[in-house]
Structure 1
Amino acid sequence: MKKITLFIACLFSLTMLAQKPQSSTASISGKVIETTTKQPLEYATIVLTNLKTKRVSGGITDMQGNFSITIPQGNYAVKAEFIGFKTKDLGTQDLTSNKNIGTISLTEDAETLDEVEIIAEKSTVEIRLDKKIYNVGKDMTVKGGTASDVLDNVPSVNVDAEGAVSLRGNENVRILIDGKPSALVGLTGTDALRNLPADAIEKVEVVTSPSARYDAEGTAGILNIILRKGKITGFNGSLNLTVGNPDMVRVAPNLNYRTKKINLFSNLGYSYRKGPGNSQTEFSYLTDGVLDSTQVENRTFDRESKSFNASVGLEYYINDNSSITGNFVYRKSKGNDIATNVTERYLTDNTSQNLLNELRVENEDEDGVDNQYSLNYTTKLDDNGQKLTIDLQYGNSEETENSPVTVNGALSELNSQITNSKEKLFQLDYVLPIGESSQFEFGHKSTLQDLESDFKVNILDPNTDFDPSNAITFKQNVYAFYTQYGSKIDKFSYLLGLRSEITDIDLNVLTTNQTSDKNYTEWFPTVNFGYELNDNENLTLGYSRRLRRPRHWFLNPFESRSSATSVFRGNPDLNPTFTSSYDLGYNTKIRKFNLGASLYYQLSTDKIERVSIIEERNGTNVFVSQPLNINDEQRYGFEFTSNYSPTKAIRLSASFNYFKFNTDAFTYVYTAQDGTQATTNLSEVNESSWFARFNSRITLPAKIEWQTRIMYRGPQTNAQSDREGMFMTNLAFSKDILKDKASLVLNVSDLFNSRKRQSTTYYGGRENPSTVSYGEFQWRERQISLSFTYRFNQKKKPQRPQGGEDGGGEEYNG
């Protein structure tokens, strides 16, 4: 069965590649479902054999199990197939005119069930009107890795040295788990992504032109991480064990059990790791452009973290048309981070005279617990695809930090912070198909967040009257309504939508009685077009309006305390950034070569950007970084992605992104700590940057897989700083063992230990700065790991047929 399906899929691909338009055609349509659950089977194969010419052609089903195939008129032998199911012979069909053969039921084949594996051999890409879906395959650089490693392998996405995720160079990207905010991301998303096992991820949706169904949050777009759920009847799963240097241990079981009425699925993970890092910063103090003195800060990070993630769900099939799914997510993390900061300041003309010599050690002990309860009800109102979905979600998160600080061996500060957050979500979505190629949809979503944070600083120096302690309450309620309509006319598809979001934000700084209330209602139109030039080429054009709401840590005026002279604090006066995005895409397949290209343009108003200023406190200069709304920004660029497999043993892929951005000059006038007025001038920015990625996967003798991944991010300039380019290389070697039931992977991340952020910042303006700083930051040093994965009731399988290039939103497929 497995060989036959693969052979037919290959024949179908070659046939479609060589096929020419015919003047006399007919179409055959229908739907494929599973016999027991009545669920639609996506990617089922319809095989058509012309009885006269013996020519084989066909197609595959969409997300709802529907198919519609146009072929030359004639008599055909028709079969329906799906991996793990018995082939169904539909007999001879006279296709001299359009014909709908109705619903086809396929039954599981017990003899082949143990040949199905959850993880595909290689990643594939599905193209939709508003997104690209990357099915995560057995990419060795993510085996035994984390969600951050997976995202860093996805075209258009970058994860920097600190773990910050960006899409096309823009860090304001919305990250969802299974289409919704998740406790797996937690209060500090980058840390949580490092603790979510890569093996738990089935696919990643990159949504650069989101339809109205998606939240408007995220000016760069949306990354939706889809977790794995069992699709095979019976008990099956996998177990991953990973060890590494620097110290790392990870255990990640994936267990699933499915019957005709229930589907129990789970993704678990425990990890322990030590993450050494470092940074060096040199501040040059200038007087009338002449170097006066220099301050050097050398920081080392000794981080130790333990975390446990558990996502457990139960899906119950009420009847043939309805199901209810409950899901519980639990995340517990514990970290002990020691930041050692050695600071020296000396006069330029007398380096032996130290103006400052300080050893500052912060020992941060952090505990975090996240709980989330989700309930989903889905019902099909008829056999034509009319569907109603209701989601309920409640989550609570708590983080506790205690950070004593010593200076030159003496206890200097006692810092602590307690943050509690509660989130509630209600969502309703309704889908109404209209005819065979159109769909109407509307829905509502309410997201309610209630957060409290108490930050206490006890400075033990009696000569210091500065106290950055504060406590805040933060409430953010967002009420959204949307509607959209999509249709497909021959080769042309479109999806038009409108979303409205009512935002109510209340921030109270309890220690200063400062308040910030922001209430606004905004409209977010979306337009997506698609045109199929032929079976292997298509064009997409999208427009969307989106926003970036400041998160609570950007609004909270508390200060970080790991350095006495370099701190970050929030800004309660921040306004949201609004962005209008345009995206033109082209995708083509030429034999063994796949190419995707995009042109994009974004216009952002009230852009949020970090600005650094200098404050003098007790005779010492303190460098304060805080977010501000600067002027509007224009950003435009182009992107290429490609895949090429010259032989079965060699697979190559590459991506390249170039973008240019322009921001007008901006003058920031602020009140310094001593009450005086100060000014920082931000220069006009008209700069460009780029990044590129290359992957190669080669099968060596003895079936050893060798993968190399090279990434380079070009230099970039903003209104106040210059960031240098960064180069990184990953290597991995993989071997299947125990009759393909297990795999061993040796992975070297950041082979040359070159993943460092290097930047220069100009304080007071580029033209006449008062201080210039140069810094290098390395979040994590080179990592070597060995991973062992064992699969039970699963075996290695060939790649499932790739999705067609249909156009559509999350539900609409055109």
Structure 2
Amino acid sequence: MKTSIKKTGVLLFLFYSLLSTAQPKDGVILGTIKGKIVDKNLNQPIPYATVVLTDVSEKIISGGISTENGDFLIADIPKGSYTLKIQFMGYTSYSRTIDISKTNKDIDIGIVTLDEEAESLDDVTIVAERTTIEQKIDRKVINVGKDLTTTGGTAAEIMNNIPSVNVDQDGNIALRGNQNVRILIDGKPTNISAAQLLKQIPSTSIKKVELITNPSAKYNPEGMSGIINIVLHKNSNMGFNGNLNLGVNFDKNARFNNSIDLNYRTGKVNIYGNYGTNITKNLNGGFVFREDDNSRQNFRFLDNNKSHLIKIGIDYYINERNTFSVYTNQNLFDGVTRGFTDVLFLNNDQDDLIQNLISDSDNLGGTYNLDYKHNFIKEGHNIELEVDFNDFESDSDDDFSFTGGNGTATAYNDLIGNNRTNTTINLDYVNPLSEKAKLELGYELRLRRTDNDYASTLFPNSNFTYDRDIHSIYATYGKNLEKWSYQIGTRVENYQVDATFIEKRSSQDDIIRKFEDDIFTIYPSAYISYTPGEKNSYQLSYSRRVDRPGLNQVNPIREWSVPRITSRGNQNLEPQFTNSIEANYTRKLQNGSITSGVFYRIINNEINQTLITDPIVPDGQILTFDNFDNNSAYGIEISGNYKATKWWSLNASFDLYGQTQKGIVNNISREVDAVIYNFRINNSLKATKNLTFQVFGFYRGPQDGVQFESKPFYFVNTGARYNFLDGKGTFSINYNDLFNTMRFRFESDVPFRQNGRFQGETQTVYLGLSYRFGSGKNKKLSRKRRDNNEKSGGGIL
């Protein structure tokens, strides 16, 4: 293939040379343009770079590619004014205006130097000291620096440091105070729940986090509060290089997280791999006190988990026009949970009951991705086909035994098996109609197949299948008008669901419940931005979105159970729809920047957790999901970074969310006006060139809902990091939750008056070591970010 490209370049060069020596027609002026393209840093020729000549209407007049020596020649050019553009993957583009006339027809522009794109230089080999935030037209990008990767062992620790994002005690993630959010890894879906995923990804494997709070019609419309895309490091430097990260957290138990990134690039082939592992023991517990019968449930569990995250991929640069890549993510996770639930009846201790649990689970997930992209001659004009297959298998073996309770409780065993597959096919077309306008068209197919088996020695065996097909087409059009820019789009989707729940009975007919749905929906979006100067920018956007129930939200099979609370899904749960409008303002300062925003959402048929009385278990409760009435929400966000002195810099953010919730809980009509607010501040103090200290503080205010009132909490982290070996190595130490205040507390009066508290091992000491090796120039293949992740929707309280 390389030989054919060389021949093509030589033939083009000779062809244009021959044309330049031919005699023109009488009275017709024909000109030539020639030059040499060179790497600015290496001072070496760049072969096969694209050279395009356009007229004032941006119509392509002629073009070619540079030879092995970087030379190019465009001949037989009529008289007129033109724009010459030179492009090569991984480099900034070059352009200049050229006039062909009778007195200026043979033009030699000499040596053209191309510099690497700034984005290409931002890779695993260089991790910035400080985290930075970029406000783009459709998303906020948090480039993760060493000040965040040293805060702890997993992605969960990083997420609580990011504006607008919260992670609760069970690992459930919320964006702008709402857990209806899409979580992506490298823009791709995953069958693994967000809570489990955040515990498995090492913090040092994260390159950046993208918050897409009002996605355009191009993106999957699922997720009321938007999309969180976690981008992992991918090293694509020339030659062989990599990065090694080691870390350990200490509290009552030690937790180890390690990762290594390797890359080898030569010629047209880039091979890369990433391996991360977490070995954790985590003690967590709490209590729930019920006032109606003066009882208290105490929880104490020890999780012993091991996870392995593997990514291997190959990029093949066929030529400047065509690229092909393939990669796979493999996620292996197994864990054992041991613990007990102690139910104490303070008025009658003869009814006291202890439930012991031993849960053994094995999980295996894999993603397989193919991508082919063809670039047309015009810059930014391309078509891309991507196929993504994701499968997940999970098996758990749970043993329950009991002590006390007057001998009324019976020991039993649960076996639960889950098998899920997702297939996604995307075809995307991008056409820059001009330098100021762009059209995007696309088609997406999403197929989901789910099969869940439940076998129990005490309860009826059951099976739940859930199949879903979604066909989507979209179109967006955007244009820049000097200081103004806008983008409009529409996405049309057909959504089909076929679900069946079978409860098997030995002495009577099986109970069969079926659910089918077929919905055709339109999702419009619009953006407009105004940039009067370099220091100020304004943005206004609108989108319509949907939250389709996650698997655990509709799965009627028991997810978990303690003596007085059982968690399971609601098969009759319906989608919720959201109309969202938001405005953002960014101000660049001399030593920093400030970003502020407001949003307003109208939510139809809202999905939320609810506690209802158990019709079978006396005094029992079922934690499930239900649709509430139409609600509204609003929010204000302010974040900024500022370098106060040469040695002191800080990032801070404040976000406030208000929501009116209406619903019927346990046959009681309720309406609540809830206000949630959070404050974060991160101080970085540079003692020497290589030694930096850090102090991070977080406060979350109280949160009211139709059923629960969460109490406020705060925590403080402090630490230090030291760079050595000319910045190739970094040693870090961090003391998390300095005052041991990170705990979840709540009160509720429906269906019973109760209060509770939950806490894990949050007061930890983290030690980390990072070392990067190898060198080389970076020529990274840009990959599209997908957003068709599936949520699970489980969790406790």
TM-score by structure 1 length? 0.79
Q: For 1:198-250, what per-residue CA distance to the aligned partner results, in whole angstroms no more than 9, with x for missing partners?
A: 22222211111111111000010111122222232111111111122131112
1:273 aligns with 2:280: yes
Task: Quote the offset at 1:38 in angstroms.
Answer: 6.4
Q: For 1:692-744, what per-residue CA distance to the aligned partner results, in whole angstroms no more than 9, with x for missing partners?
A: 11111111247321111111111111111211112122222100123322111
Q: Which amino acid aligns with 1:422?
A: T
Contact 1:734 1:746 in 2 (8 A): yes
Match of 2:664 in 1: 667
Instruction: Choose the corresponding residue for 1:752, options 722, 739, 742.
Output: 739
Match of 1:786 in 2: 767
Task: Quote the offset at 1:680 in angstroms.
Answer: 2.7
Contact 1:256 1:263 in 2 (8 A): yes
Q: Bigger CA drift: 481-490 or 163-172? A: 163-172
Match of 1:444 in 2: 443
Contact 2:452 2:465 in 1 (8 A): yes
Contact 1:280 1:777 in 2 (8 A): yes
- Mark the CA change 1:202 to 1:781 in structure 2 (over 3 Å): closer, same or farther: closer
CA distance in 2, matches of 1:375, 1:332: 22
Contact 1:216 1:524 in 2 (8 A): yes
Count, aligned residues? 687
CA distance in 2, matches of 1:338, 1:102: 73
Q: Which amino acid aligns with 1:195?
A: Q
Match of 1:805 in 2: none
Match of 2:402 in 1: 407
Contact 1:469 1:558 in 2 (8 A): no
- Mark the CA change 1:198 to 1:104 in structure 2 (over 3 Å): closer, same or farther: farther
Contact 1:161 1:780 in 2 (8 A): no
- Mark the CA change 1:599 to 1:33 in structure 2 (over 3 Å): closer, same or farther: farther
Match of 1:170 in 2: 178
CA distance in 2, matches of 1:754, 1:810: 37
Instruction: Choose the corresponding residue for 1:262, options 240, 265, 269.
Output: 269
Q: Which amino acid aligns with 2:196?
A: D
CA distance in 2, matches of 1:334, 1:206: 30
Q: Trace 1:734-745 onto structure 2 (pairs within 5 A).
A: 734-745=721-732
Match of 2:711 in 1: 724
CA distance in 2, matches of 1:338, 1:570: 24
Alignment RMSD (CA, Å):
3.4
1:121 aligns with 2:126: no
Task: Quote the offset at 1:639 in angstroms.
Answer: 0.8
Q: Which amino acid aligns with 2:463?
A: A
Match of 1:369 in 2: 364
1:297 aligns with 2:304: no
Contact 2:397 2:415 in 1 (8 A): yes
Match of 2:453 in 1: 454
- Mark the CA change 1:476 to 1:749 in structure 2 (over 3 Å): closer, same or farther: farther
CA distance in 1, matches of 2:613, 2:561: 17
Match of 1:181 in 2: 189
Q: Trace 1:49-88 onto structure 2 (pairs within 5 A).
A: none
Task: Quote the offset at 1:506 in angstroms.
Answer: 1.3
Match of 1:60 in 2: none
Contact 1:468 1:559 in 2 (8 A): no
Match of 1:390 in 2: 385
CA distance in 2, matches of 1:224, 1:32: 36
Q: For 1:451-489, what per-residue CA distance to the aligned partner results, in whole angstroms no more than 9, with x for missing partners?
A: 111112212xxxxxxx25421011111111100000000
Q: Which amino acid aligns with 1:443?
A: G
Match of 1:550 in 2: 549
- Mark the CA change 1:564 to 1:646 in structure 2 (over 3 Å): closer, same or farther: same
Task: Quote the offset at 1:648 in angstroms.
Answer: 2.6
Instruction: Choose the corresponding residue for 2:653, options 652, 655, 671.
Output: 655
Match of 1:484 in 2: 476
CA distance in 2, matches of 1:417, 1:500: 37
CA distance in 1, matches of 2:87, 2:379: 22
1:647 partner SS: coil
Match of 1:58 in 2: none
- Mark the CA change 1:449 to 1:115 in structure 2 (over 3 Å): closer, same or farther: closer
Task: Quote the offset at 1:381 in angstroms.
Answer: 1.5
Q: For 1:659-703, what per-residue CA distance to the aligned partner results, in whole angstroms no more than 9, with x for missing partners?
A: 211123x335xxxxxxxxxx5314111121211111111112473
1:690 aligns with 2:677: yes
Task: Quote the offset at 1:494 in angstroms.
Answer: 0.3
Q: For 1:251-270, what per-residue CA distance to the aligned partner results, in whole angstroms no more than 9, with x for missing partners?
A: 20011112230111222111
- Mark the CA change 1:496 to 1:107 in structure 2 (over 3 Å): closer, same or farther: closer
Contact 1:614 1:763 in 2 (8 A): no
1:249 aligns with 2:256: yes
Contact 2:87 2:379 in 1 (8 A): no
TM-score by structure 2 length? 0.81
- Mark the CA change 1:561 to 1:595 in structure 2 (over 3 Å): closer, same or farther: closer
Q: Which amino acid aligns with 1:725?
A: P
- Mark the CA change 1:38 to 1:697 in structure 2 (over 3 Å): closer, same or farther: farther
CA distance in 2, matches of 1:630, 1:202: 38
- Mark the CA change 1:485 to 1:85 in structure 2 (over 3 Å): closer, same or farther: closer
Q: Which amino acid aligns with 2:634?
A: Y
Match of 2:154 in 1: 146
Task: Quote the offset at 1:561 in angstroms.
Answer: 4.0
Q: Which amino acid aligns with 2:541?
A: G
1:525 aligns with 2:541: no
Match of 2:232 in 1: 227
1:450 partner SS: strand
- Mark the CA change 1:116 to 1:402 in structure 2 (over 3 Å): closer, same or farther: closer
- Mark the CA change 1:81 to 1:239 in structure 2 (over 3 Å): closer, same or farther: farther
Unaligned runs of 5+ in 1: 1-30, 41-79, 94-100, 286-292, 348-352, 460-466, 669-678, 765-770, 798-807
1:503 aligns with 2:511: no
Q: For 1:405-438, what per-residue CA distance to the aligned partner results, in whole angstroms no more than 9, with x for missing partners?
A: 1101997011110001111110011000011110
CA distance in 2, matches of 1:738, 1:239: 14
1:598 aligns with 2:597: yes
2:351 partner SS: strand
Contact 1:728 1:755 in 2 (8 A): yes
Q: For 1:272-306, what per-residue CA distance to the aligned partner results, in whole angstroms no more than 9, with x for missing partners?
A: 01011111110111xxxxxxx31101111100000
Match of 1:672 in 2: none
Match of 1:203 in 2: 208
Q: Which amino acid aligns with 1:356?
A: D
Q: Which amino acid aligns with 2:590?
A: R
Match of 1:15 in 2: none
Percent identity over the alignment is 28
CA distance in 2, matches of 1:130, 1:300: 43
- Mark the CA change 1:253 to 1:617 in structure 2 (over 3 Å): closer, same or farther: same
Q: Which amino acid aligns with 2:671?
A: E
CA distance in 2, matches of 1:468, 1:419: 17
